[in-house]
């Protein structure tokens, strides 16, 4: 103690007392043991203000918040500890599991309870965690009947997601419409339906669906993220900035929402924000799929963590080997992103349940840099979904043997002169053409005027995407008259309806 302070004490004067974080922590613990949780919260909150980096204080405050029923506040503190203060404080996983169970988020509860037991099988809360897992299993059995009734919903949602990823948007729309009609408050299906319409070019319809979701379910994070991404692709820079400013203030607790926020920021080029959320998920042991590791690698690379990005990309390739060649550091990234140069994507389409998508995959094969690899593969020979039409197409690709599919190939090649590499947006044009071709083949219609068919399909595709284009503009591109385009547009619409 300083000499002047001693002197003041000797004179009988009052000495000022500056309490520490430890002082308030002890008072908070005493209040907690008396079950005076409001006072405990007050003292522990003050202790954390004085020592914000002390994980024990934050953890005790989280426990008190749970006792007060403030589960979300408790979760925020527990995630703060694991992500920033002390990731080896394993008991936080048990407390998180308990909180999520109270909130009804059984999947998250199961994840953290399991993680706790894996990290500390003989820990102080091991028995409690095992009991919680048993309880969660019981809850799952109680909900089994309800969940069983939703099996159809889950199957349809997965099918729709596969269709979206493979670029077959009309079928995805058809399926998602069924889902939202049967489950009018299943917001995930609405958001995917908006995505399908947007990729097909019907931006207004997509925007209307998102607005409906936000009106009926205010603050829906997926809808807000989709609005930002849509605006980004439309070049609405000012609106995108507003959405970024708004979304970066959101602190979601659920891993699914954190994943959506992170990937959305990555899609609009906000890699620092994307890295923040995706790395947080990674540190908590998030069991992500291909897209999670894809965007984590991309965001890591763009913020300067190249070694980490490469390690994550290696993990991605173990799950999705077809992603090889589309690394964020690839020299010719634009070309690598085309479906035609990603053999995994082509094989996925070749195994589709829809003939038009299989035909599209064969066209991709014909222009692919990996054509020889695909055309001689066992997966192609062993594909039992091929009809006579696809078999003819394969013969055409291998030997140039003339067949009905040669006309379809030539028309698709006309598109390829202007629309390559083939990404998600361009895929819509080709899929539309092969849908028309399948119907024309059924009707026995000859495809003599190839430029007319190409011009008509492209015109209809632009119109469906709400893009301004005149029949004369398309006619000039294909060196035909606008009257011819108009005549064939009627035929195309007949086959599509």
What ranges do the domains of the chain cover?
21-149, 177-327
- In this prediction, residue 78 carries a pLDDT of 92
Architecture of the domain whose range is 177-327: Alpha Horseshoe (1.25)
- In this prediction, residue 417 carries a pLDDT of 93
Tokens coding 361: 């995959």
The more confident residue out of 320 and 228 is 228
Nearest-CA neighbor of 55 among 25, 96, 100? 25
Among 135-149, 152-166, 207-221, 451-465, the range scoring the smallest mean pLDDT is: 135-149
Question: Mind listing the pLDDT tens digit for each residue in 108-167?
Answer: 888 888 889 988 888 888 888 888 887 776 555 444 444 444 556 666 767 777 777 666
3-state secondary structure of 371: helix
Nearest-CA neighbor of 329 among 349, 347, 304? 304
Count of beta carbons in the 10 Å neighbourhood of residue 221: 19
Average pLDDT score over residue span 182-202: 84
**Contact present, 295 and 278 (Cβ < 8 Å):** yes
Task: Determine what percent of the chain is predicted with pLDDT higher than 70.
Answer: 89
The more confident residue out of 184 and 285 is 184
For residues 191 and 59, give the distance between their C-alpha atoms in angstroms, rounded to a whole number: 37
Could you list the beta-strand ranges (E) of 178-275.
none
Task: Determine what percent of the chain is predicted with pLDDT higher than 90.
Answer: 29
- For residue 385, pLDDT over 50 is answered with yes
Average pLDDT, whole number, for the chain? 83
- For residue 254, pLDDT over 80 is answered with no
On the question of a common fold for 21-149 and 177-327, the answer reads yes
Question: Mind listing the pLDDT tens digit for each residue in 8-28?
Answer: 334 334 434 445 778 888 889
Please report which confidence band the pLDDT of residue 337 belongs to, taking 50, 70 and 90 as the band edges. low
Count of beta carbons in the 10 Å neighbourhood of residue 214: 15
Average pLDDT score over residue span 438-456: 93
- In this prediction, residue 490 carries a pLDDT of 94
3-state secondary structure of 220: coil
- In this prediction, residue 142 carries a pLDDT of 44
Count of beta carbons in the 10 Å neighbourhood of residue 392: 18
- In this prediction, residue 10 carries a pLDDT of 40
Question: Mind listing the pLDDT tens digit for each residue in 277-315?
Answer: 999 888 877 767 778 898 999 999 888 888 899 999 988
**What is the torsion angle, in degrees rounded to the nearest 10, for the CA atoms of residue 16, residue 21, residue 25 and residue 27?**
10
- For residue 408, pLDDT over 80 is answered with yes
Which residue blocks in 327-387 are alpha helix, DSSP H? 333-336, 343-350, 355-366, 371-375, 378-381
- In this prediction, residue 12 carries a pLDDT of 39
φ and ψ of 401, to 5 deg: -65, 125
Tokens coding 418: 């202007």
Handedness of CA 384, 387, 393, 399 (dihedral sign): positive
Q: Assign residue 157 a region (left: φ > 0; alpha: ψ between -120 and 50; beta: otherwise).
A: alpha
DSSP class of residue 370 equals T
Q: How many helices (H) and strands (E) does the chain have?
A: 30, 0
The more confident residue out of 441 and 151 is 441
For residues 166 and 111, give the distance between their C-alpha atoms in angstroms, rounded to a whole number: 30
Please report which confidence band the pLDDT of residue 367 belongs to, taking 50, 70 and 90 as the band edges. very high
- Letter string b/e over residues 86-116, b meaning 16 or more CB atoms within 10 A of that residue's CB: beebbbbbbbbbbbbbeeebbebbbbbbbbb
DSSP class of residue 442 equals H
Span 21-149: which CATH code? 1.25.40.10
Give CA angle at 28 (94, 49), nearest 5°.
85
* List of residues 6+ apart from 183 with CB closer than 8 A: 153, 189
- In this prediction, residue 87 carries a pLDDT of 82
- For residue 179, pLDDT over 50 is answered with yes
- For residue 235, pLDDT over 50 is answered with yes
For residues 147 and 135, give the distance between their C-alpha atoms in angstroms, rounded to a whole number: 17
For residues 287 and 157, give the distance between their C-alpha atoms in angstroms, rounded to a whole number: 20
Measured CA distances, 237 to 205, 271, 306, 364 (Å): 21, 16, 28, 34
For residues 474 and 419, give the distance between their C-alpha atoms in angstroms, rounded to a whole number: 14
For residues 431 and 363, give the distance between their C-alpha atoms in angstroms, rounded to a whole number: 10
């Amino acid at each position: 103690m300083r000499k002047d302070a001693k002197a003041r004490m000797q004179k009988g004067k009052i000495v000022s007392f500056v309490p520490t974080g430890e002082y308030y922590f002890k008072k908070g613990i005493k209040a907690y043991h008396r079950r005076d949780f409001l006072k405990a919260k007050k003292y522990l909150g003050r202790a954390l203000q004085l020592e914000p980096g002390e994980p024990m204080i934050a953890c005790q405050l989280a426990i008190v918040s749970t006792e007060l029923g403030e589960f979300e506040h408790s979760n925020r503190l527990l995630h703060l500890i694991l992500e920033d203060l002390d990731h080896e404080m394993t008991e936080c996983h048990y407390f998180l599991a308990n909180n999520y169970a109270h909130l009804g988020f059984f999947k998250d509860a199961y994840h953290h309870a399991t993680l706790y037991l894996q990290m500390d099988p003989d820990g102080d809360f091991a028995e409690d965690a095992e009991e919680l897992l048993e309880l969660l299993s019981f809850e799952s059995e109680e909900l089994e009947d309800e969940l069983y009734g939703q099996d159809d919903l889950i199957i349809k949602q997965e099918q729709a997601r596969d269709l979206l990823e493979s670029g077959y948007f009309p079928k995805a729309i058809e399926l998602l419409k069924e889902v939202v009609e049967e489950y009018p408050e299943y917001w995930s299906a609405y958001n995917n339906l908006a995505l399908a319409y947007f990729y097909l070019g019907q931006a207004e319809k997509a925007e209307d669906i998102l607005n409906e979701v936000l009106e009926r379910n205010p603050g829906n994070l997926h809808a807000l993220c989709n609005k930002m991404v849509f605006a980004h692709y439309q070049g609405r820079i000012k609106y995108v900035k507003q959405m970024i400013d708004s979304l970066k203030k959101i602190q979601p607790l659920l891993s699914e929402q954190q994943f959506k926020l992170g990937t959305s920021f990555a899609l609009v080029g906000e890699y620092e924000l994307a890295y923040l959320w995706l790395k947080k998920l990674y540190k908590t042991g998030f069991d992500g799929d291909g897209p999670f590791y894809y965007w984590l690698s991309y965001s890591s690379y763009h913020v300067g963590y190249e070694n980490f990005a490469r390690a994550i990309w290696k993990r991605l390739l173990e799950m999705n080997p077809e992603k090889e060649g589309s690394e964020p550091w690839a020299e010719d990234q634009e070309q690598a992103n085309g479906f035609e140069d990603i053999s995994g994507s082509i094989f996925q389409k070749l195994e589709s349940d829809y003939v038009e998508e299989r035909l599209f995959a064969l066209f991709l094969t014909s222009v692919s840099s990996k054509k020889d690899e695909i055309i001689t593969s066992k997966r192609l020979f062993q594909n039992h979904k091929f009809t006579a039409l696809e078999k003819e197409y394969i013969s055409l690709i291998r030997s140039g043997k003339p067949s009905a599919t040669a006309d379809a190939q030539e028309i698709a090649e006309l598109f390829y002169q202007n629309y390559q590499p083939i990404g998600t947006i361009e895929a819509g044009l080709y899929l539309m053409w092969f849908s028309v071709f399948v119907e024309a083949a059924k009707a026995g219609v000859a495809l003599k005027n190839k430029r007319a068919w190409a011009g008509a399909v492209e015109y209809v595709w632009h119109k469906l995407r709400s893009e301004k284009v005149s029949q004369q503009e398309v006619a000039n591109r294909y060196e035909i008259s606008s009257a011819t385009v108009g005549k064939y547009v009627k035929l195309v619409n007949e086959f599509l309806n």
